[in-house]
């Protein structure tokens, strides 16, 4: 099954898992919690507030050398979206790719995904841990803060007030 066929298959329409493929094209499922979804929304809110000349996207499918990986959140410039439109999955990565750590994945898995996204053209890779702490990377090193999205907080808070 190719990625578009997976996306269109009724079996996966209402599934409560994040769907990705591995390097052999086999489907991998990861459970997503409500907390995970809340962090996605918070990250998107910050990207809308601070990101200039672009927009965020949730559940962004990116074709990598190890299959289709689905970034929890990504931010692409208008130039990126103008070029890539509604491809599914994207053959290149948006400029910023964000993964949220959950009990079903590890920091090592995230570091491997980081390399896959950079190989597809990402400029920055961010990780949000279960406490909302943000770690920023470019292709060479860990960064103290994002270079592309100026002022993005080093910690995002879940606040229901």
Whether residue 117 is contained in a domain is answered as: yes
Report the pLDDT value the prediction gives residue 161, as an integer from 0 to 100: 65
- Indicate whether 11 belongs to any domain: no
Average pLDDT, the chain: 87
Intra-chain end-to-end CA distance of the chain, in Å: 44
Structural domains in the chain (count):
1
The pLDDT tens digits of the residues spanning 52-102 come to: 999 999 999 999 998 889 999 999 999 999 999 999 899 999 999 999 988
Q: Is the pLDDT of residue 33 over 70?
A: yes
Asked whether residue 26 is assigned to any structural domain, the reply reads: no
73, β-bridge pairs: 58, 98
91 within domain boundaries: yes
Q: Is residue 106 part of a domain?
A: yes
pTM of the model: 0.81
Which of 18-22, 31-35, 48-52 is predicted with the least confidence, judged by mean pLDDT? 18-22
Residue 13 inside a domain? The answer is no
Peptide bond into 89 cis (omega under 30): yes
- CATH code (residue 63): 3.90.1570.10
């Amino acid at each position: 099954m190719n990625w578009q066929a997976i996306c269109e298959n009724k079996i996966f329409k209402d599934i409560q898992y994040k769907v990705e493929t591995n390097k052999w094209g086999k489907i991998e499922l990861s459970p997503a919690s409500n907390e995970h979804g809340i962090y996605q929304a918070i990250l998107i809110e910050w990207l809308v507030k601070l990101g200039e000349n672009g927009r965020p996207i949730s559940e962004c499918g990116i074709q990598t050398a190890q299959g289709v990986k689905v970034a929890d959140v990504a931010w692409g410039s208008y130039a990126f979206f103008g070029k890539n439109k509604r491809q599914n999955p994207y053959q290149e990565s948006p400029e910023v790719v964000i993964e949220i750590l959950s009990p079903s994945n590890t920091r090592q898995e995230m570091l491997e995904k980081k390399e896959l996204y950079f190989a597809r053209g990402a400029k920055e890779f961010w990780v949000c841990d279960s406490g909302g702490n943000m770690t920023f990377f470019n292709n060479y090193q860990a960064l103290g803060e994002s270079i592309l999205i100026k002022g993005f907080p080093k910690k995002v808070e879940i606040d229901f007030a």
